[in-house]
Structure 1
Amino acid sequence: MATIRAGSQAVLLVVDVQLGVMRGAWNAAQVIQNIGVAVEKARAQGAPVIWVQHADDELVSGSADWQIVPELPPAPGETRIHKQFNSAFEQTALEETLAQLNAARIVLAGAATNWCIRATAYAALERGYDLTLLQDAHTTETLELGGGIKIEAQDIVRELNIAMTWLSFPGRKNSVAPAAEVVF
């Protein structure tokens, strides 16, 4: 049986826009700017902004690369979630935070599209949240598969944007929207 969130609040979830993640990401400057637009809209419309930061052996907590990009400073009092797995839900306080906020809908932005954004999007839907992926506010790096085979970053972004329009979960809504058009 599907769980459907009964809350009424939309939140903006900004995942892993950290220096070490964004440095080599496709179209990073524009994506950061688009995330900034979404952050301003969320704040203006009274939607909470939640910031997620990843840490692992390559992205060490507290290091310079672990820091959120300077163009997107979290406001005082905005929640920060620290994670060690691709999904922002795994072994974090995110679900409890969303419950406290009476959240039913997540607007998702950040990096990396093929890892943490995809895992967080699917986890949100599986946990009963409605989801809007900001189609122009997530990014990744080109994926080198070896043997001369690679998947270009912009194709990874495009594929997830398409997938989010085709997914179907009982009782939930998922969509994509440009950052400039999202409503909280």
Structure 2
Amino acid sequence: MATIRTGNRSALLIVDVQVGVVAAAGDISRQLDHITFAVRRARDAGVPIIWVQHDDEELPRGSAEWQWVPVLAPQVDDIRVYKQHNSSFEQTTLEAELAARGVAHIVLCGAVTGWCIRATAYAALERGYDLTLIGDGHIAKRLDTGEGTVVEADAIVREFNAVLPWLSYPGRRNRVVAAAELVW
């Protein structure tokens, strides 16, 4: 059974909104506006902001594709976590960073819904964190199933927004809200 995190501290977790990750995602200006809004609100409330950045053979650290999209920029006091797997928790410093700040509640946004956002959301709940997904602040790419079917990006976002609140973990709360509804 997972440890249930105590306390009421929150952190904003922004995952993989990197040039090379979102390049094929189409027009994501609306999602970027919502993520930027959430960052601004978190800063105003003194909520820790954690930027999770992926690197691998296709997305080498330091390359142009590895960089954050231009409208998003971590500040010096923000926390940086680097990952090589879909979950932001696997073989990273994320849990130590959260524990050092007494975080029990993660507010999640970023890219890409079908992989890293989903894996990070499930991992957070499995590790005993409460979770809020910013429903209009995660980015998907269309998915070719390889069977002659394509699942459009907006359908992937809608599906995850609908499924997440129904997940049941003992002692944890999870929900989906619009960026404008965030209350720190």
Q: Please report the TM-score for the alignment, with normalisation by the length of structure 2.
A: 0.97
SS of 1:110's equivalent in the other structure is strand
- Where does 1:102-141 land on structure 2 (aligned, <5 Å)? 102-141=102-141
Q: How many aligned positions are there?
A: 184
Runs of at least 4 residues of structure 1 off by over 3 A? none
- The equivalent residue for 2:54 is 54
Gap regions ≥5 residues in structure 1 = none
- Asked if the contact 1:83–1:91 (Cα under 8 Å) also holds between the matched residues in 2, the reply is yes
Question: Hey, what's the Cα distance between the residues in 2 that align with 1:115 and 1:15?
Answer: 11
Gap regions ≥5 residues in structure 2 = none
Shift of 1:140: 1.4
SS of 2:145's equivalent in the other structure is strand
Q: Give the AA of the match of 2:173.
A: K
- Asked if the contact 1:10–1:103 (Cα under 8 Å) also holds between the matched residues in 2, the reply is yes
Question: Hey, what's the Cα distance between the residues in 2 that align with 1:159 and 1:120?
Answer: 16
- The equivalent residue for 1:173 is 173
Q: Please report the TM-score for the alignment, with normalisation by the length of structure 1.
A: 0.97
Greater displacement, 1-10 / 129-138: 1-10
Identity fraction in percent = 55
Greater displacement, 21-30 / 6-15: 21-30
Greater displacement, 169-178 / 2-11: 2-11
Question: Hey, what's the Cα distance between the residues in 1 that align with 2:116 and 2:7?
Answer: 24
Q: CA RMSD in A?
A: 0.9
